[in-house]
């Protein structure tokens, strides 16, 4: 009879060995061929697990506990699960299996040159890490295991964790036979992340499915607190084509898991380290390169765990598995959620799952209260842990005080299609059981509103749409929507507004931040917002409009009253280009230019085009262009457009064409100034008409003159989004691009195609 194989070295394994050693161990072996650093070790096999069950005679006892199980009866599930796990751990390891494990452990010790080396013992299920199923967090991992006795106990406990409550529920819900899934154990040298950092990453944006982003979460110490959602990690977003860092968000990182007395414990992170990022920019890029290599090899998005060994000062990948929500989806429908009512905002946090849901709040203090959750409740708790899976599927939404976008609970929430908001800080104290709320995760900032609000779900097919000669582009202000809209079949962004970024993510007048010495805060927020939009639509153009606040709008920002005059008519006052070179404002303009310089040079997004708004004269335009060059934005390597929103821009279009690379029509301001109407005046509202012949003739004139000078013309006003016949006029006039709001993009594309 052929001798049964109970142990395999990791370096001898490949991806096709999943049935032999489980998904985790097989993938670790596969990584060895990719020049990806993996900690040395070995794996027990599925055959070893089967042998354990056979030799101990426990299968009948397990089967009897599963007979008649109703996974919706949480109390009964808990009792049965505890009995099964106790049955497995109370059994004794067969002597011949134990002998093989100990022998291989001794060989690993010899390789490392360490007696009784500390190892990590990680569960590896044979149905784990499949492209269409995620067993994330369902089985256990044991850290700092040292010596033969601890090793055997840890492996036995891993075997038992195949029957955690959440694993039982998952198999039942996904039609896996409980005895068709086997449990192997990866045994690896213990990486000293307690002396450095660790975390999780996705090679795809896990909420929107945007494929060109790597999203990394990092914290100090071992990674278990990130996975379980007990620590708020840093979050970094990297653009894969350039390895440029799009966003860095500092997490609280108040605790870290470290080694103590042969085990692990949570300890406070010193205040001085909480305000520092857990990974350097160089480490972020190194990790991104490994991630891209792994994704390319497996030809699908990946969910990867990693650590930095503080003793060796080296980065290691400790797990790679397929991302199972977007990676397995073949859906070609873009689903956009939009609130149609407003109410008081109760709190906000990090959004998980690009959706909106409503329901009654159910605040739970701990796992023992799970039976209280009813179908459609909004589950509110301190943190969502994989142990909560049996009731997560009952909830319409989940809101937690803590946790990150890559925690196991977040992964399961996405897989179940449940929107969640994590890292609110105060959800369990601010929300009350029984109160109706709306959970809005339609952007990357999740918000909870009072009451059950109405919302629309807009579905748009995004495949097999016609190509058009006239570019159809987007008007976009909120960077949080960019990744979700990236699959729209548009030709880029014709207007990206700075104002939304400043009001939503800064809130301060830029001169106020300069006075406080906090100008980096302004630059970082602007850089991140621009980079998100630029990355989402790369390599198509993203036309970013420089600041166009009016004085009354600037006064509404924190500290704005100190720097802004009171004007009788801000609409035609100190705005746009006239501010940039003014001695009172030019230092604020320098910050805008620096943010744009970083987006293009550091992140590598050379598709970002700059647009100058409200430029009254050609001479004014020249002053702005010279100042941009002085501040590091060379117009020799970058296109700069001018907004055509004043009659002077069109009357002198030939001269503006000599200074700028293109035009973008601002139909709102153009109509205001052609007809002499304050567009904010209620009395004159009936006269405000972007279809007036005077406005249309000027647009036709601009297109004709611009084309004579080989300059493109687009439009970024509201008219094409709100006036159906406007698109027909623009196409007939020969415009080069039409920018519209995302909700009418597909409709506009089809209209343009028919007209052409």
pLDDT tens-digit series, residues 222-231: 988 888 788 8
Task: Give pLDDT tens digits for 486-539.
Answer: 988 899 999 998 998 998 889 999 999 999 999 999 999 999 999 999 999 999
Q: Quick one: pLDDT band at residue 135, thresholds 50, 70, 90?
A: very low
**Is 1 a residue whose pLDDT tops 60?**
no
Predicted local distance difference test score (pLDDT) of residue 332? 54
CB 677 within 8 A of CB 688: yes
pLDDT at 373 over 80: yes
For range 563-571, the mean pLDDT: 92
Question: What does DSSP say about strands 333-339 and 493-497: parallel, antiparallel, or unpaired?
Answer: unpaired
Q: Give the pLDDT band (50/70/90) at residue 463.
A: low
Average pLDDT over residues 569-591: 95
Separation CA 739–CA 124 (nearest Å): 50
Determine phi and psi for 403, rounding to 5 degrees.
110, 165
Residue 176: the pLDDT is: 81
Residue 326 annotated among the catalytic residues of the structure = no
Does the pLDDT value for residue 93 go beyond 90?
A: yes
pLDDT of 320: 86
pLDDT at 435 over 90: yes
Mean pLDDT across the chain: 90
Q: Is the pLDDT of residue 581 over 80?
A: yes
Per-residue pLDDT at 462 exceeds 80: no
Two structure tokens written together for 155: 């492996």
Per-residue pLDDT for 560 more than 50?
yes
Whether residue 78 is predicted with pLDDT greater than 60 in this model: the reply is yes
Give the neighbor-by-neighbor strand order of the sheet with 41-44.
7-9, 41-44, 183-189, 119-125, 141-145
The predicted model gives 624-637 an average pLDDT of: 93
pLDDT of residue 130: 43
How high is the pLDDT of residue 673?
95
- The pLDDT value recorded for residue 707 is 98
| Measured distance CA(553)–CA(483) in Å, rounded | 28
Going from the C-alpha of 714 to that of each of 638, 684, 707, the distances in angstroms are 18, 27, 12
**How is the chain split into domains, by residue range?**
7-190, 194-322, 333-458, 466-643+716-755
Share of residues in the chain with pLDDT > 90 (%): 64
* 326, 408, 505, 509: the active-site residue: 408
**Is residue 136's pLDDT more than 90?**
no
DSSP 425: S
pLDDT at 328: 52
Q: Is 299 left (phi over 0), alpha (psi -120 to 50) or beta?
A: left
Q: What is the homologous superfamily of the domain 466-643+716-755 according to CATH?
A: Phosphoenolpyruvate-binding domains (3.20.20.60)
The crossing angle, in degrees rounded to 10, of helices 519-536 and 498-505 is 130
**Would you say residue 109 has pLDDT above 80?**
yes
Max intra-chain CA distance, the chain: 96
Residue 405 pLDDT > 80: no
DSSP state of 130: B
Average pLDDT over residues 328-355: 80
- Who wins on pLDDT, 412 or 611? 611
Query: Tokens 């009072």 label which residue?
Result: 450
Q: Which of 47-56, 332-341, 506-515, 533-542 has the lowest average pLDDT?
A: 332-341
d(CA 744, CA 429): 40
Lowest mean per-residue pLDDT among 311-315, 330-334, 402-406: 330-334
User: What's the CATH code, domain 194-322?
Assistant: 3.30.470.20
- Write the burial class of residue 504 (CB in 10 Å: 0-12 exposed, 13-18 middle, 19+ buried): middle
Residue 228 and residue 225: Cα distance in Å, rounded?
A: 5
Rounded-to-10 torsion of CA 148, 149, 152, 158:
-120
The pLDDT, as a whole number, for residue 558 is 93
Segment 209-223, tens digit of pLDDT: 899 999 999 999 998
The percentage of the chain sitting over the pLDDT mark of 70, rounded to a whole number, equals 94
The confidence band for 196, taking pLDDT boundaries of 50, 70 and 90, is very high
Least confident of 86-90, 302-306, 449-453, 723-727: 723-727
**In whole angstroms, what separates CA 505 from the centre of its chain?**
17
Of the given ranges (20-24, 172-176, 563-567, 749-753), which has the lowest mean pLDDT?
Answer: 172-176
Q: Provide mean pLDDT across the span 377-388.
A: 78
Residue 297 has pLDDT above 50, yes or no: yes
pLDDT at position 331, please? 52
> Omega of the bond prior to 539 within 30 degrees of 0, cis?
yes
Q: Is the model's pLDDT at 263 over the cut of 50?
A: yes
Q: What is the pLDDT of residue 131?
A: 44
Question: For 157-170, what is each residue's pLDDT tens digit?
Answer: 999 999 988 888 88
- pLDDT number for residue 411: 65
Q: Cα 385–389–394 angle (5° rounding)?
A: 125
For the segment 702-718, the average pLDDT, to the nearest whole number, is 94
Q: Check pLDDT > 70 for residue 623.
A: yes
- The residue with greater pLDDT, 522 or 351, is 522
Chain Cα centroid distance, residue 623: 39
* pLDDT: which is higher, 503 or 137: 503
Task: Given the residues 158, 185, 593, 716, select the one marked as catalytic.
Answer: 716
Decide if pLDDT at 608 tops 80: yes
Per-residue pLDDT at 164: 87
pLDDT tens for each residue of 242-251? 999 999 999 9
The answer to whether 404 and 217 are in contact (CB under 8 A) is yes
435 phi/psi in degrees, rounded to 5: -80, 135
Q: Is the pLDDT of residue 287 over 50?
A: yes
Q: How confident is the model at residue 413 (pLDDT cuts 50, 70, 90)?
A: confident
Instruction: Report the topology of domain 333-458.
Output: Glucose Oxidase; domain 1 (3.50.30)
Residues with Cβ < 8 Å from 320, sequence gap 6 or more?
27, 28, 30, 31, 294, 298, 302, 303, 304, 305
pLDDT at 326: 63
408 assigned to active site? yes
- The residue-averaged pLDDT of 11-33 equals 88
CATH class of 7-190: alpha beta
The stretches of 478-617 forming alpha helices (DSSP H) are 482-485, 498-505, 510-516, 519-536, 551-555, 577-580, 586-601
Q: What is the DSSP letter of 369?
A: G
At a CB cut-off of 8 Å and minimum separation 6, what does 430 contact?
346, 347, 424
Joined together, the tokens standing for residue 58 give 């426990």
Cβ 329 vs Cβ 207: under 8 Å: no
Mean pLDDT of the 13-25 span: 89
């Amino acid at each position: 009879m052929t001798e049964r194989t109970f142990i395999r070295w990791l370096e001898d394994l490949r991806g096709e060995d999943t049935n032999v050693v489980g998904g985790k161990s097989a993938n670790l072996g596969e990584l060895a061929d990719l020049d990806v650093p993996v900690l040395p070790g070995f794996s027990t096999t599925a055959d070893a697990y089967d042998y354990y069950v056979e030799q101990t005679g426990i299968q009948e006892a397990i089967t009897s506990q599963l007979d008649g199980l109703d996974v919706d009866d949480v109390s009964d599930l808990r009792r049965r699960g505890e009995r099964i796990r106790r049955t497995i751990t109370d059994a004794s390891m067969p002597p011949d299996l134990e002998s093989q494990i100990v022998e291989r452990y001794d060989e690993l010790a010899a390789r490392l040159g360490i007696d009784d080396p500390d190892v990590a013992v990680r569960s590896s299920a044979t149905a784990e890490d499949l492209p269409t199923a995620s067993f994330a967090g369902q089985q256990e991992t044991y850290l700092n295991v040292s010596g033969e006795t601890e090793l055997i106990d840890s492996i036995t406990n891993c075997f038992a964790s195949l029957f955690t409550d959440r694993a039982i529920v998952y198999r039942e819900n996904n039609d896996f036979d409980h005895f068709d899934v086997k449990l192997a154990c990866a045994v690896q040298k213990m990486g000293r992340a307690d002396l450095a950092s660790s975390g999780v990453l996705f090679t795809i944006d896990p909420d929107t499915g945007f494929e060109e982003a790597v999203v990394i979460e990092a914290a100090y110490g071992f990674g278990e607190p990130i996975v379980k959602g007990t620590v708020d990690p840093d979050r970094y977003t990297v653009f894969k084509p350039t390895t440029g860092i799009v966003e860095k968000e500092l997490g609280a990182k108040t605790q870290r898991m470290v080694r103590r007395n042969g085990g692990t414990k949570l300890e406070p992170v010193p205040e001085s380290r909480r305000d520092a990022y857990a990974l350097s920019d160089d480490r972020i890029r190194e990790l991104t390169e490994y991630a891209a290599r792994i994704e390319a090899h497996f030809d699908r998005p990946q969910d990867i765990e990693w650590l930095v060994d503080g003793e060796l000062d080296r980065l290691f990948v400790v797990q790679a598995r397929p991302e199972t929500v977007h990676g397995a989806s073949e859906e070609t429908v873009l689903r956009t959620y939009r609130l149609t009512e407003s109410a008081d905002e109760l709190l906000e946090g990090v959004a998980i799952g690009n959706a909106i849901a409503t329901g009654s709040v159910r605040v739970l203090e701990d796992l023992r209260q799970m039976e209280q959750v009813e179908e459609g409740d909004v589950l509110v708790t301190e943190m969502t842990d994989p142990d909560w899976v049996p009731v997560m599927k009952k909830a319409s939404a989940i809101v937690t005080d803590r946790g990150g976008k890559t925690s196991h609970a977040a992964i399961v929430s996405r897989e179940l299609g449940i929107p969640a908001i994590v890292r609110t800080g105060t959800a369990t104290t601010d929300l009350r059981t029984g109160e109706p709320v709306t959970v809005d995760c339609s952007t990357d900032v999740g918000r909870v509103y009072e009451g059950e609000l109405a919302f629309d779900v807009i579905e748009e097919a995004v495949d097999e749409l016609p190509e058009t000669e006239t570019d159809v582009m987007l008007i976009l202000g909120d960077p949080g929507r960019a990744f979700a809209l990236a699959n729209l079949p548009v030709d880029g962004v014709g207007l990206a507004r700075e104002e939304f970024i400043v009001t939503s993510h800064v809130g301060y007048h830029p001169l106020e931040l300069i006075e406080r010495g906090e100008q980096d805060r302004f630059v970082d927020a602007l850089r991140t917002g621009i980079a998100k939009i630029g990355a989402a639509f790369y390599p198509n153009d993203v036309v970013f409009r420089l600041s166009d606040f009016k004085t009354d709008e600037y006064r509404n920002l924190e500290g704005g009253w100190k720097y802004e005059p009171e004007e009788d008519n801000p609409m035609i006052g100190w705005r746009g280009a006239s501010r940039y070179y003014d001695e009172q404002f030019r230092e604020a303009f320098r910050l805008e230019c620096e943010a744009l310089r970083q987006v293009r040079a550091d992140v590598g997004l050379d598709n970002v085009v700059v647009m100058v708004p409200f430029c009254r004269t050609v001479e004014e335009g020249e002053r702005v262009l010279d100042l941009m060059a002085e501040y590091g934005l060379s117009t020799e390597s970058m296109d700069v457009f001018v907004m055509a929103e004043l009659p002077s821009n069109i009357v002198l279009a030939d001269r503006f064409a000599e200074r700028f690379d293109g035009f973008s029509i601002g139909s709102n301001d153009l109509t205001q100034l052609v007809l002499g109407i304050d567009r904010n005046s209620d009395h004159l509202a009936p006269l405000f008409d972007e279809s007036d012949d005077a406005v249309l003739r000027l647009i036709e004139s601009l297109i004709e003159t611009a084309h004579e000078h080989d300059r493109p013309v687009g439009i970024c006003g509201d008219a094409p989004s709100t006036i159906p016949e406007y698109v027909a006029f623009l196409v007939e006039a020969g415009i080069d691009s039409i920018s519209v709001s995302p909700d009418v993009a597909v409709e506009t594309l089809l209209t343009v195609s028919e007209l052409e």
